Structure 1
Amino acid sequence: MRRAPALAVSALVFFGTATSLAAAEPAAPPSANQQQTVNSAIARALAQRGVPYVYGGGSSDGPTGNPAGSGIVGFDASGLMVYAFAGAGAKLPRSSKDQYQAGRKIWPSQALPGDLIFYGPEGSESVAMFLGNGQMLEATNPSVAVSRVRTNGMAPYVVRILG
Structure 2
Amino acid sequence: MKRTYAAMLGIALLFATPGLASADVIRRPADTQKIINAVIARGLSQRGVPFTYGGGNTDGPTTSTDNTPAAPAATTSLLGLIPAPAPALAPKVPGFDASGLMVYSYAAAGIKLPRRSNDQYNIGRKIPPSQAIPGDLIFYGPEGSQSVTMFLGNNLMLEASEPAVQVSPVRFDTMTPYLVRVIE
Secondary structure of 2:172's counterpart equals coil
Distance 2:178 2:25 in 1: 12
Matches within 5 A, 1:1-163: 28-69=26-67, 70-163=91-184
Kindly tell me the number of residue pairs found equivalent between the two proteins: 139
Query: Bigger CA drift: 144-153 or 61-70?
Result: 61-70
Query: Percent same amino acid at aligned positions?
Result: 60
Query: Greater CA radius of gyration, 1 or 2?
Result: 2
TM-score, normalising length: structure 1: 0.81
Distance 2:179 2:25 in 1: 11
How far apart are residue 27 of structure 1 and its match? 9.2
TM-score, normalising length: structure 2: 0.72
- Cross-structure match for 1:16: none
Identify unmatched segments of 5+ residues in structure 2: 1-18, 68-90
Relative contact order: is structure 1 or structure 2 higher (C-alpha 8 Å, sep ≥ 6)?
1
Distance 1:96 1:27 in 2: 29
Secondary structure of 1:130's counterpart equals strand
Q: What is the root-mean-square deviation of aligned Cα atoms in Å?
A: 1.6
Identify unmatched segments of 5+ residues in structure 1: 5-25
Tell whether the 8 Å contact from 2:53 to 2:66 is kept in structure 1 after alignment. Answer: no
Deviation digits for residues 103-147 of structure 1 (CA, Å, limit 9, x no counterpart):
111111110011000001111100000000010000000000000
Flag the 1:27–1:107 CA change in 2: closer, same or farther, 3 A: farther
